[in-house]
Amino acid sequence: MQHLKGKKAVISGGGSGIGRAIAELLSEDGVATAIADLHLPPSLPSGMLPVTCDVADPTAIDSLFSEVQQQLGAPDILVCSAGQGVHEKLIEGDPEKWQQVINTNLMGTLRMIRAFVPGMQERGAGDVVIVSSVSAGQAYPYGGVYAATKTALAVVAETLRQEVLPGIRVTVIAPGVTDTAFFENTLSGSQTVESIGYGAITPGQVADAVLYALRQPPGVSINNITLRPTAQAF
């Protein structure tokens, strides 16, 4: 397995949930980690660089890039974990909320890729991790817009993988129901882990899967990982 100590990482959505769990594991492995989020925790382990950032805002991505370059240098690992949900019928929902979700989930990831991956390509090495969802490619009532963004990210990830061969690895991790504040922060809808009824995996379990992919030898790529509560139907 590859040692990660001494590497540098930037994580969008790193202030809580899955992103925070990934950041903590990377930090424990000796990775200098920048966490970018709208809401940052009051205290962080040493070695973490907090940067307030809204990935839906192009100028915020520019500022994040500059801060990371100045404080850490070019990252070896990019984790795109920032995301937001919306739970509305397509014939009744609010297009402004839909646009916000598209700007965060899809455009935010694209902007992070555009900012940080060229530096990896110049060095000929790096890892990109995109946090998706089991809803990618899965139509379900009230989930059309959210699932569409995650489906689009699957296409983005595969396109990126082909464009940056052979030095850069691209991993998509698609969790099922996860016990985070995601449902509390959904723009509309009243789902909870309990109301969905499948049980839930933890952010730490998702982070373990991400670290498994990152620790593979340089010539080995884990391109897709799906994990969910065993009782989850899709």
Active site residues: 146
What sections of 124-223 are H helices per DSSP?
Answer: 144-163, 193-196, 203-214
Nearest to 13 by CA among 49, 66, 52: 52
Q: List the beta bridge partners of residue 8.
A: 32
CA 98 to chain CA centroid, nearest Å: 19
Q: Taking the CA atoms of 159, 38, 201 and 168 in sequence, report the sign of the dihedral they define.
A: positive
Cα Rg of the chain, angstroms: 17
